[in-house]
Amino acid sequence: MKPGSARSRSGNGVSRHAVEGGGGDEVTELLRAQLQQWWGYPGFRPLQKEAMSLVMQNRDSLIVLPTGGGKSLCYQVPALARDGMAVIVSPLISLMKDQVDTLQSLGIAAGCVNSMQTPEEKSEIARRIRRGELKLLYISPERLVQPRTLDFLRSTKISFVAVDEAHCISQWGHDFRPEYRQLKTLKQEFPGVAVHGYTATATEQVRRDIVEQLGLATADVLVGSFDRPNLIYRVERRVDAIGQIRRILSRHKGESGIIYCISRRNVEATSQALNRLGVKTLPYHAGLSDEDRRRGQDAFIDETAEIIVATVAFGMGIDKSNVRFVIHAEMPKSLENYQQESGRAGRDGLEAECTLLYSPGDVETWNYLMRDVEDEGVRTTSEESLRSMKQYCSSTQCRHRMLVEHFGQTLDGPSCGACDVCLKEMTEVTDALVVSQKILSGVIRQGERFGTGYTAQVLKGSKAKRILENGHDRLSTWGLLKDESETQLKHWIDQLLSQGYLRQSGEYNCLEVTATGRQVLKGQLTPTLLRVRQSEESDRREDSWDGVDRGLFEELRGLRTRLAVSRNLPPYIIFSDATLRALAKHRPSNAAGLKQIPGIGAKKLQDFGPVVLFEIQQWCRSRKIPTDVGFEGRSNSEEVMEQPQTSKSASDSVSSEYYDLFEQELSIEEIAVQQDTSLDTVSRHFVNWLQFQRRTDIGPWVSAAVQARIEDSIGRLGPEKLKPIFEDLRGEIPYHVLKIVVTVWELEQHE
């Protein structure tokens, strides 16, 4: 990086240069207000404020934040606070659509341009841009740099350009895309417009390359912590893949997850095997038709399918927040890939499990797949990445620590409390020196000419034909560890390899004892050996449910699904699991309480507040449990709603489906036909909804002229009884309409 570029800072801090003159308290409060109003978040996550300040100051930047760290908000929030339209470069159509759907659900003017749109849809987006209606435009890199697109965008006010998934521009990154290299012209095409890069995974080398390729000579670089403390990392040697996967799935019944395999063939085999065992999965790989892939991805997003078995191509275009587990049935090719792929779990900040099943054969598979790489530099980098990945799999160190150290950071504290090592799922062997000496002696007795599997068999005391033919059943080390399983022996050999006491050489990865290994044989060094045990579900998983009414959580999940179906949106766009848990924990009874729930901004409060409050009300009433739990300054009473109530029989019959229809402003008559019920029934639901929402604008349902006639009659006769009003109006207006207007009249009197 050139002199004068920002000084990069890892962790939750930031260089002074990056924030000096950061916009002041006024700008910070403006950003905070936008965050609260539209997204319902009361404050910033680490580095968000600093990253947003750079956008507000029109200074180029590169922002590296972990998946789930609120990276997208770093450009979305200031896009609303600045004049003009922000241009967001995104690599995948599915990713664009996901982001735009989410923003539009919040009431934010966002749009995208992609190859899947009709000419009419593209023309409408162009018209909205000309009218200055869009605040964020999502577009692919190849479309953005087309001369026609550039000419069009020059005619509008661009507030800034944000390059999402910026690691795609670097050949040293894990997902290099050549089309991203064309973005270097942006600084020349839009002089005076700041360009910002955003990514979740980038080593120091990749960060330097991103800055250079984007032409950001004076960019500020902010690097957040790469640690994802809510993810529980586990590594297992693959022995019985389907059996191991089933055991993991048993911990996540009814939850969304992804299973990754290296090849298409293994994706199909794994998916079919699980389906035969009654575990419903869908496959996803490049060999499927576009329609099949789209259908599978949509099913996963819409939660009609909980589990996808996929190659690593799956997931980049999905911002699904409630993935509760990611299983790698085979080893990824790099720690960068593993960080990215496992990071698709737990984006909502809640606990999620990431388990990696590995085998030495995975290394050979990746070497075979990389055989055609011609660029020597890229090949060398790939081989180094593979070695680091292999080291991670066989290490006895904390998984979180290894990951953050790979990205040049450190982990505070002696234990992460969220991996198999630190959770003591792998217990330390008390006689590690003796066990290590037996294994190393076995390797030497065999002439250092055999691999891991064979060595484990000899130590176990196997009478396999090959061992007998070699006469190794007569070695002093034969059967020396006969009480241990072959799987455990292989684990220990892997651990000795990881710590440098053994190495592999030759075409067949024969084991050899290193110089430090010979020191172990002399008793001068003692390795660390861990014994693998089957773990129970982590206590952390239970802690995250502390105080949450699980039954209400499931009810709210069902409500979320119904709302999502009616709006043709993914459920997680309606509410995240984190929001549902907060609702089920605090059980708010009115709008003031809902505003205290993270993830509920003004638009969601307006759209979904009444139906959510009603669902909570019904649940709490039927079980006689309190509402407003844990809210400061709020009574913890059993009075569920601080709203006018209809009779118990009426409120008990209200279905949340009606609320959604009222939100769509369908007429009373249309709803009656759609629900196959009477006008009186619909109007009772409608009155209840008006009271919950305290809505007095009923123009879509009752004309102003009719309202005026009824209100005149109410003014003369009072609202207590409908019959005198009905007769006063000569029976020309039905009772259900009278009740609606009377309800609004009473609400207005209490305003």
Model confidence pLDDT, tens digit, residues 602-634: 888 888 888 898 889 888 888 889 988 886 544
pLDDT range class, residue 491, cuts 50, 70, 90: confident
- What's residue 317's pLDDT? 58
Judge if 336 and 386 occupy the same domain. yes
Residue with the bigger pLDDT between 110 and 498: it is: 110
DSSP line for 514-552: -HHHHHHHTTS-----EEE-PPPPPHHHHHTTTT--HHH
Task: Tell me the C-alpha to C-alpha distance, in Å, between residue 251 and each of 254, 279, 536, 587.
Answer: 10, 13, 9, 27
What would the mean pLDDT of 582-596 be, rounded to a whole number? 91
- What's residue 657's pLDDT? 67
Find the CATH number of the domain harbouring 478: 1.10.10.10
Tell me which residue of 667, 659, 553, 550 sits closest to 608, measured CA to CA.
659
Choice among 169-173, 414-418, 506-510, 697-701 with the minimum mean pLDDT? 169-173
User: Are 557 and 619 within 8 A, CB to CB?
Assistant: no
- What whole-number distance in Å separates Cα of residue 419 and Cα of residue 421? 5
Give domain status of residue 3, yes or no.
no
3-state secondary structure of 502: strand
User: Which amino acid, 400?
Assistant: H
DSSP line for 439-451: HHHHHHHTTT---
Percent of the chain with pLDDT over 70: 89
- What whole-number distance in Å separates Cα of residue 600 and Cα of residue 350? 17
- In sign, the C-alpha dihedral spanning 421, 423, 425, 428 is positive
Scanning 319-375, the segments in alpha helix (DSSP H) are 335-342, 360-369
Give strand pairing partners of 88. 138, 162
Residue 151 has pLDDT above 90, yes or no: yes
Residue 364 has pLDDT above 90, yes or no: no
How many residues appear in the chain?
751
Number of domains in the chain: 5
- What's residue 173's pLDDT? 57
User: Which amino acid, 732?
Assistant: E
Could you read off the pLDDT of 52-109 as tens digits, one per residue?
999 999 999 999 998 778 899 999 999 999 999 999 999 888 788 888 988 998 999 9
Judge if 367 and 270 occupy the same domain. yes
3-state secondary structure of 18: helix
Give domain status of residue 619, yes or no.
yes
Find the CATH number of the domain harbouring 562: 1.10.150.80
Tell me which residue of 248, 254, 294, 289 sits closest to 270, measured CA to CA.
248
Judge if 601 and 675 occupy the same domain. no
Judge if 206 and 314 occupy the same domain. no
- What value, to the nearest 5°, has the Cα angle with vertex 451 and ends 450 and 455? 80
Give domain status of residue 491, yes or no.
yes
- What value, to the nearest 5°, has the Cα angle with vertex 174 and ends 172 and 176? 70
- What's residue 16's pLDDT? 31
Residue 745 has pLDDT above 90, yes or no: no
Judge if 340 and 274 occupy the same domain. yes
What would the mean pLDDT of 342-353 be, rounded to a whole number? 91
Give domain status of residue 322, yes or no.
yes
User: Are 380 and 388 within 8 A, CB to CB?
Assistant: no
Residue 304 has pLDDT above 90, yes or no: no
Instruction: For residue 696, give both structure tokens.
Output: 């007095």
What would the mean pLDDT of 191-203 be, rounded to a whole number? 90
Find the CATH number of the domain harbouring 73: 3.40.50.300
Of 478, 499, 532, the last residue of a domain is 532
Choice among 317-326, 513-522, 580-589, 688-697 with the minimum mean pLDDT? 688-697
Of 223, 250, 266, the last residue of a domain is 223
Judge if 332 and 268 occupy the same domain. yes
Judge if 253 and 193 occupy the same domain. no
Q: Could you tell me which residues come within 8 angstroms of residue 518 by beta carbon, excluding any fewer than 6 positions away?
A: 440
User: Which amino acid, 452?
Assistant: T
- What's residue 19's pLDDT? 38
Give domain status of residue 9, yes or no.
no
What would the mean pLDDT of 675-680 be, rounded to a whole number? 75
Give strand pairing partners of 453. none
What would the mean pLDDT of 661-685 be, rounded to a whole number? 78
Q: Could you tell me which residues come within 8 angstroms of residue 407 by beta carbon, excluding any fewer than 6 positions away?
A: 10, 201, 203, 226, 339
* HSE, side-chain direction, 13 A CA sphere, residue 417: 9
Scanning 568-601, the segments in alpha helix (DSSP H) are 571-574, 577-586, 591-594
pLDDT range class, residue 6, cuts 50, 70, 90: very low
Judge if 403 and 443 occupy the same domain. no
- What whole-number distance in Å separates Cα of residue 597 and Cα of residue 579? 7
pLDDT range class, residue 301, cuts 50, 70, 90: confident
Is the pTM for the entire model greater than 0.75? no
Give domain status of residue 10, yes or no.
no
The Cβ of residue 159 has, within 10 Å, a number of other Cβ atoms equal to: 23
Provide the pairing of β-strand 256-260 with 510-513.
unpaired
Give domain status of residue 421, yes or no.
yes
- What whole-number distance in Å separates Cα of residue 133 and Cα of residue 119? 19
Give domain status of residue 538, yes or no.
no
Instruction: For residue 591, give both structure tokens.
Output: 């709008």
- What's residue 62's pLDDT? 96
Judge if 692 and 587 occupy the same domain. no
Task: Tell me the C-alpha to C-alpha distance, in Å, between residue 402 and each of 204, 398, 428, 438, 622.
Answer: 16, 6, 18, 28, 50
Task: Tell me the C-alpha to C-alpha distance, in Å, between residue 579 and each of 41, 591, 604.
Answer: 11, 15, 12
Task: Using CB atoms within 10 Å of the CB of residue 749, give its burial: 0 to 12 exposed, 13 to 18 middle, 19+ buried.
Answer: exposed
Cα 319 to chain centroid distance, Å, stands at 5
Instruction: For residue 725, give both structure tokens.
Output: 């009003």
- What's residue 641's pLDDT? 33
Judge if 52 and 193 occupy the same domain. yes
E strand or H helix at 423: none
Question: Where do we find the tokens 């045990």?
Answer: 533
- What's residue 696's pLDDT? 83
Judge if 362 and 379 occupy the same domain. yes
- What's residue 47's pLDDT? 93
What would the mean pLDDT of 253-262 be, rounded to a whole number? 93
- What whole-number distance in Å separates Cα of residue 625 and Cα of residue 647? 20
- What whole-number distance in Å separates Cα of residue 747 and Cα of residue 751? 6
Of 386, 407, 425, the last residue of a domain is 425
Q: State which residues form the domain around 201.
A: 16-223
- What whole-number distance in Å separates Cα of residue 156 and Cα of residue 150? 10
Cα 345 to chain centroid distance, Å, stands at 5
What would the mean pLDDT of 204-215 be, rounded to a whole number? 90
Exposed e or buried b for every residue in 503-533, given b needs 16+ CB within 10 A? ebeeeeebbebbeebeebbeeeeebebbbbe
What phi and psi values does residue 551 have, to the nearest 5 degrees?
A: -65, -45
Residue 546 has pLDDT above 90, yes or no: no
Judge if 276 and 164 occupy the same domain. no
3-state secondary structure of 637: coil
Exposed e or buried b for every residue in 554-574, given b needs 16+ CB within 10 A? ebbbebbebbbeebebbbbbb
3-state secondary structure of 22: coil
